[in-house]
């Protein structure tokens, strides 16, 4: 097809002094500042922009906005590429690159178009019916189907752009910046409200930008300019153009996607957030989201050149582009006549106005008639012709009932068919807010019913279409919203501009425009959903096959499930379904509108929380030392803890072996700052301990510590730790690293909600103290030096004792607490001294060979002692008895949290999983943690499992593999051989005591 | 004094002092780390007139009883944290814990030093409010949040106390010591579009 | 995203809170006196209502106070919040069905 320049010499909102170069499918073109990609393509005479999803039929630009079903393009290349962008929403910039999707090798000669030839074989549900058998092949079929269907390609590179999020609060959020929204925002702003006005377009004005309305004897856009200027003068008004309100959530919480640099070339947007997600909490919301024109469902209504009437008018008036040279307007209402008149005025020939209504007398039709335009009333288009663009249509007389056509077909040449089937209020956000829709049969559309949230709809989205009425309704809604938000609205002066509003006669709703052949017969297709290639025949087929629910029909036919989410097809589809089912439209109901209104990028949803900011990290006061000495970190409860400290040439295993040897043979040092610490102060502190721990606390002396297990009310162990008594009514509890917040919350909950009159305060002091653990046979030598002035002998400071002391000269504490089974001291100082304490220890410890050790060595050393660890030996399913720790349960205590559950019959079963040690017969074997334990090995799985390995390590001390396991009835199995089937072999192990090392605890008490 | 040589604030490893400028120029956001201070978590019966009276006598001014507000004396400030919980902030050496211990002796209370448990980040400048709005769900509009107000909330993923000091606006952000670096990086990143200058704390 | 009126701090975003499930379940004074069945009722059984639900909330990122809320589990409307120990407000009939609706 020969390319034609379709740009008008004057008019529109484009800047003819600023020419922009862009490429389309690799070829260079020129557009103007103010263009969208779609308007620039039309200006270049390009009508074919893509291939349809299923049949690969040629498709052209169908609309001028968010409802676009056809012009889906791939924008830019490489890391900046974006699939599935609507050309109607892309603002043109210098250097833009775009291409068609869903076609190969080119949009003009598409290989997949063969699908159109087999269309008879591809009815609704075809994929489900054909490829589900044999079921195991579905995955294979699906791969090819998806490839053939494909809608654009996701980038493979990381997104180079910056995205941002922000919270906003306002009295009135106005959604939509057309005449209604502008009026509402102005009213609310004048009343003094904090207003946010968001509109998806690059400039405010909505439909006024695409029309030639006159307000107060000036172009309407002049009124728009003045209003925007006044709004901008209020300090409490935030104007958000290029911002789509895409979600309406509970309690007036709305999400806005602001596109800040999408209208710039990627390289010009670098360094600043490309998009910002606004999370708005609005006291009141005014929805002024306008309406979307409906197409008519007629034979071969998908050919390039078929376009919504109002969109054709927008291209003409806003972008100065003639969307065709000779147009046929096909309508069921008066409104489309305005488009015909505008087109005629701009020099587009009007072949005819084909109106489904037999009697056409409204002011607009009269005006068209006076203008000399031919009106074919009571007629219908029954065919369109043309290969890659419509070249002519055929028109026949429509029966009074609208069920068939008759008479002789008249052929009318045209390259543009402007269709209008009436208007559907954009009720998406209203529906998301929880409001129910009601059906307005007169206008054949759904309108908002009763509000469920602090929200009001106004203007076209409320079913009010005339511009003067919209202004009035907008002002009223803005004022009412401000009033509801607590502002005085009396005396606010609002004078609507004088504007002509021609009256309109009713439309003629016809679900399907009949053609020569019955729907679904013959070659012609009546498309309902252009994006997903769903035809009227498909919807009828679904009804015939028994689909009654609109939700099921939607999924079966894929109606409304494309990138446009059925913005132009939902209501026409419903009408066809209702007719097929012999029901009224409101009885069929609508599908659910869900966020987002239009697609949003993943980048927007991720915001800044990517890369190293993707999750919280916590570091100890000694972190820098660990990092500088090359520690490998282990993440636990957001904490970054040293896992092990490899020396040059060491792997993890070698480093851990060396660290373990140091602790058992000389002395090691560990950063224990991450353990949770809670202070309990008050006369009832001991009552709290007695309730939250399973053991008894009444006789703990000041200066001494005790170990305890914490149980949930279900009797299961959920945390453990040591609590020290610092003073008469003053205790310091330690918790596991990961359990600190949970334990604090657990105790606080009981104190606030049950033990409300207990005299005790609890305070988290985890972060106040840096704690260093010095462990090993030489520990006392080092600590004696560091805590000069404090007697740290076994007599003065025995195991489980604590003293205030100066350590390395800093005010702190010394305690005898051990995780390793070795002679151990915990030194604690306020966190700001933490690094100084650590370096003092390292300096003083050099002569003893002091070795830093990480969490992996701790795990090995504690496992040698049979000490339990959260997440390994206890995981919420294990009682103290299961762990063989009945000694940690106060037998004489009347009550404690979880006590009653320990008496439940299930807790006393002999075959509960119990903690045991496993000694693998091959001493060099280290069982994988999580391995299943079986009594009898069968030839192949499944085989009955009796337990699993909870911890397993190479014990450098014992020079063999050791493991802890939870095994059914384990305590009675001592000495039994059990089996651990692995992928390639079966290992045999003997059930032994979980304490592998120093069972008498001599070293601990040393 | 030798003590200050050994003591480190949470953000000391970032070397902020060396990066600080006294000529922030066009920067929309000024960030700083406050020096170590005494932060005393005070607990007591906020519904008891007697307790509040004795506390007032002890510190020289009334503890705030209106939620999310701050009261101030000559040498310390008190932030409302809960109906029975306050945060008292004073320069090092004030010995607040000891003072409270003497003044409230014999009553149900707990005064716990948490100065080492926290970092305080100063955030001010014309875009300070925009930076906070990126991370925090509070309405920081001057009509609802101004000098003398404080709030515990969530900054991104971080539990924080925010207190506004003046109309600049200047904010103090109190976070746990362990998350100070994450918080700093988050705020610095969020502020980058406005220009960030590091200033002395 | 709910807007929850903390009885102390006023309206705050849901992200500052933790829901603690059904409210007004007191721990039995003498658990040892209960049968397994009675203990299980306390420990495990919850109403799981559709409609008006009295539940515990914790202002975990704020003032750390527990309080109660009368929330409709269908509409998410929060009819009232009230401090621990206060009497639950009467919002709807005993059948748990909210009659008021949104306003």
| Domain ranges within chain C, ordered by starting residue | 3-24+34-99
Long-range contacts formed by A930-938: CB under 8 A, 24+ apart: A931/A980, A931/A982, A932/A980, A932/A981, A933/A965, A933/A967, A933/A978, A933/A979, A933/A980, A933/A989, A934/A978, A934/A979, A934/A980, A934/A981, A935/A978, A935/A979, A936/A979, A937/A979, A937/A981, A937/A986
Do B143 and B177 belong to one domain?
Answer: yes
- List the one residue out of A918, A927, A913 whose CA is nearest residue A989: A918
Do B123 and B192 belong to one domain?
Answer: yes
**Are C50 and C73 in contact, with CB atoms under 8 Å apart?**
yes
Q: Decide if C63 and B81 are in contact by the 8 Å CB cutoff.
A: yes
Do B109 and B123 belong to one domain?
Answer: no
CB-based contacts of C41, cutoff 8 Å, min separation 6:
none
Please state, as a whole number, how many other Cβ atoms lie within 10 Å of the Cβ of residue B92.
Answer: 14
- List the one residue out of A927, A970, A973, A969 whose CA is nearest residue A951: A927
pLDDT of A124 higher than 90: no
**Residue A592: predicted pLDDT:** 83
Which residue on chain A is closest to B11 by alpha carbon?
Answer: A621
Whole-model pTM above 0.90?
Answer: yes
**Residue A374: predicted pLDDT:** 98
**Average pLDDT of the segment spanning A142-147:** 54
Q: Decide if A613 and B139 are in contact by the 8 Å CB cutoff.
A: no
For residues A193 and A187, what is the distance between their CA atoms, to the nearest angstrom?
Answer: 9
**Average pLDDT of the segment spanning A45-56:** 88
For residues A731 and A723, what is the distance between their CA atoms, to the nearest angstrom?
Answer: 7
Domain boundary among B113, B134, B153: B113
Percent of chain A with pLDDT over 70: 95
Long-range contacts formed by A744-749: CB under 8 A, 24+ apart: A744/A676, A744/A678, A745/C58, A745/C60, A746/A692, A746/A710, A747/A678, A747/A688, A747/A692, A748/C64, A749/C20, A749/C58, A749/C66
Q: Decide if C12 and B153 are in contact by the 8 Å CB cutoff.
A: yes
According to DSSP H, which parts of A47-169 are helical? 114-117, 126-131, 138-149
Contacts of B159 in chain C (CB under 8 A): 61
pLDDT of A3 higher than 60: no
**Average pLDDT of the segment spanning A377-386:** 97
Query: Which of C13, C15, C62 minimises the CB distance to B152?
Result: C62
Q: How would you write the pLDDT of chain C (103 residues) with one tens digit per residue? A: 999 999 999 999 999 999 999 999 999 999 999 999 999 999 999 999 999 999 999 999 999 999 999 999 999 999 999 999 999 998 865 454 444 333 2
Contacts of C9 in chain B (CB under 8 A): 67-68, 151
**Residue A52: predicted pLDDT:** 86
Higher pLDDT residue, A999 or A148? A999
**Average pLDDT of the segment spanning B47-70:** 98
For residues A271 and A248, what is the distance between their CA atoms, to the nearest angstrom?
Answer: 30
Find the chain A residues whose C-beta atoms sit closer than 8 A to any C-beta of B. Answer: 164-169, 194, 272-273, 279, 281, 608-609, 612-613, 615-621, 623-624, 639, 679, 681-682, 759, 761, 763, 765-769, 810, 830-836
Domain boundary among B85, B113, B141: B113
**Are A577 and A542 in contact, with CB atoms under 8 Å apart?**
yes
Do B85 and B157 belong to one domain?
Answer: no
Instruction: Give A630-653 pLDDT, tens digit per residue.
Output: 999 999 889 999 999 999 999 999
Task: Count structural domains, chain B.
Answer: 2
Pairs of residues, one from chain A and one from chain C, whose beta carbons lie less than 8 Å apart: 57
**Are A560 and A566 in contact, with CB atoms under 8 Å apart?**
yes
**Average pLDDT of the segment spanning A408-429:** 97
Domain for residue B1, yes or no? no
Average pLDDT in chain A: 94
Q: Decide if A767 and B139 are in contact by the 8 Å CB cutoff.
A: no
Do B77 and B44 belong to one domain?
Answer: yes
DSSP A960-979: EEEEEEEEETGGGGTT-EEE
Starting at the edge strand found earlier in the chain, the sheet holding A824-830 runs A802-807, A810-815, A824-830, A769-775, A668-671, A851-852
Query: Which of A621, A624, A682 minimises the CB distance to B177?
Result: A621
pLDDT of A133 higher than 80: no
Do B80 and B141 belong to one domain?
Answer: no
Chain C: nearest CA to B70, how far in angstroms? Answer: 14
Which residue on chain B is closest to A837 by alpha carbon?
Answer: B6
Domain for residue B9, yes or no? no
**Average pLDDT of the segment spanning A374-384:** 98
**Residue C81: predicted pLDDT:** 97
Query: Which of B82, B138, B154 minimises the CB distance to C63?
Result: B82
Suggest the residue from A763, A806, A838 to mutate for an interface test with chain B (most B CBs closer than 10 A): A763
Burial of A648 (0-12, 13-18, 19+ CB in 10 A): exposed
CATH fold label, C3-24+34-99: Folate-binding fold (3.30.2270)
Do B82 and B144 belong to one domain?
Answer: no
pLDDT of A145 higher than 70: no
Domain boundary among B60, B92, B113: B113
Q: Are strands A416-420 and A326-331 parallel, antiparallel or unpaired?
A: parallel
Q: Measured between alpha carbons, how far apart are the two ends of chain C, in Å? A: 19
Q: What angle do CA B132, A614, A75 make, to 5 degrees?
A: 95
Do B94 and B148 belong to one domain?
Answer: no
Do B48 and B75 belong to one domain?
Answer: yes
- List the one residue out of A753, A700, A771, A707 whose CA is nearest residue A730: A700
Question: Is this complex's ipTM strictly greater than 0.95?
Answer: yes
Instruction: Give A331-370 pLDDT, tens digit per residue.
Output: 999 999 999 999 999 999 999 999 999 999 999 999 999 9
**Which CATH number belongs to the domain containing residue B122 in this structure?**
3.30.1360.120
Do B99 and B146 belong to one domain?
Answer: no
Sign of CA pseudo-dihedral A467, A472, A474, A475? positive
For residues A776 and A822, what is the distance between their CA atoms, to the nearest angstrom?
Answer: 5
**Which CATH number belongs to the domain containing residue B90 in this structure?**
3.30.70.1520
Q: Domain span at residue B92?
A: 37-113
Query: Which of C31, C56, C102 minimises the CB distance to A899?
Result: C31
Q: How confident is the model at residue B178 (pLDDT cuts 50, 70, 90)?
A: very high
Suggest the residue from C43, C82, C86 to mutate for an interface test with chain A (most A CBs closer than 10 A): C43
Do B42 and B28 belong to one domain?
Answer: no
**Residue A122: predicted pLDDT:** 66
For residues A803 and A797, what is the distance between their CA atoms, to the nearest angstrom?
Answer: 8
**Which helix (H) or strand (E) element contains residue A23?**
strand A15-24
pLDDT of A92 higher than 50: yes
Q: What angle do CA B180, B185, B188 make, to 5 degrees?
A: 120
Q: Are strands A705-711 and A717-727 parallel, antiparallel or unpaired?
A: antiparallel
Pairs of residues, one from chain B and one from chain C, whose beta carbons lie less than 8 Å apart: 35
**Are A207 and A290 in contact, with CB atoms under 8 Å apart?**
yes
Q: Are strands B196-198 and A945-955 parallel, antiparallel or unpaired?
A: unpaired
Do B141 and B151 belong to one domain?
Answer: yes
**Residue A1: predicted pLDDT:** 39
**Which helix (H) or strand (E) element contains residue A861?**
helix A855-864
B21: helix, strand or coil: coil
């Amino acid at each position: 097809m020969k390319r034609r320049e379709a740009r008008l010499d004057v008019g529109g909102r484009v800047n003819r002094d600023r020419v922009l170069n862009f490429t389309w499918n690799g070829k260079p073109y020129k557009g103007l500042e103010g263009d969208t990609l779609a308007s620039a393509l039309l200006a270049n005479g390009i009508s074919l922009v893509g291939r349809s999803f299923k049949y690969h039929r040629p498709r052209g630009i169908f609309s001028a906005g968010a409802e676009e079903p056809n012009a889906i393009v791939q924008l830019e290349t490489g890391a900046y590429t974006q699939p599935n962008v609507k050309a109607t929403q892309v603002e043109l910039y210098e250097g833009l690159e775009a291409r068609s999707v869903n076609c190969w090798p080119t949009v003009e000669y598409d290989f997949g178009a063969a699908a159109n030839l087999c269309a008879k074989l591809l009815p609704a549900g075809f994929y489900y019916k054909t490829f589900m058998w044999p079921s195991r092949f579905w995955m294979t079929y699906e791969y090819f189907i998806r490839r053939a269907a494909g809608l654009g390609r996701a980038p493979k590179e990381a997104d180079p752009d910056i995205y941002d999020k922000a919270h906003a609060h306002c009295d009135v959020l106005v959604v939509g910046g057309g005449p209604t929204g502008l009026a509402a925002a102005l009213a609310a702003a004048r009343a003094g409200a904090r207003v946010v006005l968001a509109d998806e377009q690059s400039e405010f004005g909505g439909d006024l930008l695409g029309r030639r309305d006159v307000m107060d004897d000036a172009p309407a856009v002049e009124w728009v300019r003045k209003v925007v200027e006044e709004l901008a003068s209020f300090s409490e008004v935030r104007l958000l153009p290029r911002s789509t309100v895409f979600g309406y959530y509970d309690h007036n919480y709305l999400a806005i996607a602001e596109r800040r640099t999408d209208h710039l070339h990627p390289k010009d947007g670098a360094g600043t957030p490309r998009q910002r997600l606004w999370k708005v909490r609005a006291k009141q919301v005014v929805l002024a989201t306008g309406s979307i024109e409906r197409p008519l469902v007629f034979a071969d209504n998908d050919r390039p050149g078929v376009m919504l009437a109002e969109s054709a008018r927008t291209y003409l008036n806003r972008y100065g582009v003639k969307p065709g040279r000779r147009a046929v307007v096909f309508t069921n209402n008066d409104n489309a006549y305005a488009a015909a008149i505008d087109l005629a005025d701009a020099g587009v020939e009007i072949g005819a106005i084909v109106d489904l209504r037999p009697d056409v007398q409204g002011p607009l039709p009269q005006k068209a008639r006076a203008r000399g335009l031919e009106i074919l009333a009571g007629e219908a288009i029954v065919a369109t012709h043309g290969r890659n663009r419509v070249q002519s249509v055929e028109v026949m007389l429509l029966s009074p009932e609208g069920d068939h056509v008759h008479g002789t077909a008249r052929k009318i040449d045209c390259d543009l068919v402007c269709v209008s089937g009436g208007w559907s209020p954009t009720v998406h956000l209203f529906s998301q807010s929880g409001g129910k829709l009601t059906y307005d049969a007169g206008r054949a559309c759904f309108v908002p019913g009763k509000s469920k949230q602090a929200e009001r709809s106004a203007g076209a989205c409320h079913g009010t279409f005339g511009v003067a009425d919209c202004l009035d309704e907008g002002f009223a809604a803005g004022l009412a919203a401000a009033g509801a938000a607590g502002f005085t609205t009396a005396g606010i002066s609002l004078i609507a501009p004088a504007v002509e509003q021609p009256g309109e006669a009713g439309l003629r709703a016809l679900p399907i425009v009949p053609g020569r052949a019955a729907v679904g017969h013959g070659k012609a297709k009546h498309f309902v959903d252009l994006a997903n290639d769903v035809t009227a025949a498909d919807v009828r087929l679904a009804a015939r096959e028994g689909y009654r629910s609109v939700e099921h029909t939607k999924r079966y036919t894929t109606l409304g499930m494309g990138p446009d989410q059925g913005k132009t097809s939902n209501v026409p589809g419903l009408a066809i379904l209702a007719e097929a089912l012999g029901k009224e439209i409101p009885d069929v109901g609508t599908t659910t509108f869900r966020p987002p209104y239009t697609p949003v990028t993943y980048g927007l949803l991720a915001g800044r929380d990517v890369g190293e900011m993707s999750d919280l990290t916590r570091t100890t006061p000694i972190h820098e030392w660990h990092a500088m000495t090359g520690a490998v970190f282990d993440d636990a409860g957001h904490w970054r803890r040293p896992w092990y400290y490899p020396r040059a040439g060491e792997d993890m295993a070698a480093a851990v072996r060396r660290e373990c040897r140091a602790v058992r043979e000389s002395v090691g040092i560990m950063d224990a700052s991450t353990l949770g610490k809670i202070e309990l102060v008050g006369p009832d502190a001991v009552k709290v301990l007695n309730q939250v721990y399973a053991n008894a606390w009444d006789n703990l002396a000041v200066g001494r510590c005790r170990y305890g297990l914490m149980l949930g009310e279900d009797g299961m162990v959920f945390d453990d730790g040591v609590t020290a008594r610092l003073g008469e009514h003053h205790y310091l509890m330690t918790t596991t690293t990961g359990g600190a917040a949970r334990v604090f919350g657990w105790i606080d909950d009981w104190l606030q909600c049950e033990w409300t009159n207990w005299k005790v305060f609890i305070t988290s002091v985890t972060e106040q103290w840096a704690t260093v653990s010095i462990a090993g046979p030489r520990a006392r030598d080092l600590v004696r030096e560091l805590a000069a002035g404090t007697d740290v002998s076994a007599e003065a400071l025995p195991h489980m004792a604590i003293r205030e002391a100066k350590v390395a000269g800093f005010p702190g504490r010394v305690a005898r607490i051990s995780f390793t089974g070795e002679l151990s001291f915990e030194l604690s100082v306020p966190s700001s001294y933490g690094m100084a304490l650590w370096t003092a220890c390292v300096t003083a410890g050099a002569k003893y060979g002091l070795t830093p050790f990480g969490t992996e060595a701790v795990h090995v050393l504690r496992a040698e002692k049979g000490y339990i660890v959260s997440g390994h030996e206890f995981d919420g399913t294990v009682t103290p008895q299961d762990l063989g720790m009945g000694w940690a349960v106060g037998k004489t205590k009347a009550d404690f949290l979880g006590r009653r559950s320990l008496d439940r019959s299930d807790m006393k079963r002999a075959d509960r999983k119990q903690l045991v040690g496993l000694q693998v017969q091959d001493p060099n074997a280290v069982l994988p943690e999580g391995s299943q334990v079986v009594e009898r090995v069968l030839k192949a799985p499944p085989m009955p499992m009796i337990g699993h390995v909870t911890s397993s390590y190479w014990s450098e001390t014992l020079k063999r593999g050791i493991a802890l396991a939870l095994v059914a009835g384990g305590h009675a199995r001592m000495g039994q051989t059990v089996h651990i089937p692995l992928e390639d072999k079966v290992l045999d192990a003997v059930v032994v005591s979980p304490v592998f090392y120093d069972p008498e605890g001599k070293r601990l008490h040393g | 004094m030798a003590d200050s040589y050994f003591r480190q604030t949470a953000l000391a490893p970032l070397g902020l002092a060396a990066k600080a400028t006294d000529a922030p120029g066009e920067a929309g956001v000024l960030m700083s780390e406050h020096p170590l201070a005494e932060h005393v978590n005070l607990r007591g019966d906020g519904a008891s007139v007697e307790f509040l009276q004795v506390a007032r006598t002890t510190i020289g001014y009334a503890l705030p009883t209106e939620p999310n507000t701050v009261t101030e004396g000559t040498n310390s400030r008190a932030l409302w944290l809960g109906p029975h919980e306050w945060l008292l902030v004073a320069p090092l050496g004030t010995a607040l814990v000891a003072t409270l211990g003497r003044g409230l002796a014999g009553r149900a209370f707990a005064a716990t030093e948490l100065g080492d448990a926290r970092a305080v980040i100063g955030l001010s400048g014309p875009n300070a409010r925009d930076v906070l709005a990126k991370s925090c769900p509070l309405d920081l509009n001057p009509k609802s949040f101004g000098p003398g107000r404080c709030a515990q909330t969530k900054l991104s993923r971080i539990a924080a106390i925010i207190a506004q000091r003046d109309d600049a606006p200047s904010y103090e952000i109190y976070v746990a010591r362990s998350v100070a670096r994450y918080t700093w990086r988050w705020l610095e990143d969020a502020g980058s579009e406005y220009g960030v200058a590091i200033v002395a704390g | 995203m709910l807007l929850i009126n903390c009885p102390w701090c006023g309206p705050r975003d849901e992200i500052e809170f933790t829901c603690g499930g059904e409210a007004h379940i007191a721990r039995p004074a003498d658990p040892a006196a209960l049968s397994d069945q009675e203990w299980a009722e306390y420990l495990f059984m919850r109403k799981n209502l559709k409609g008006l639900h009295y539940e515990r909330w914790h202002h975990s990122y704020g003032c750390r106070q527990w309080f109660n809320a009368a929330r409709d589990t269908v509409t998410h409307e929060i009819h009232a919040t009230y401090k621990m120990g206060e009497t639950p407000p009467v919002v709807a009939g005993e059948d748990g069905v909210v009659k008021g609706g949104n306003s």
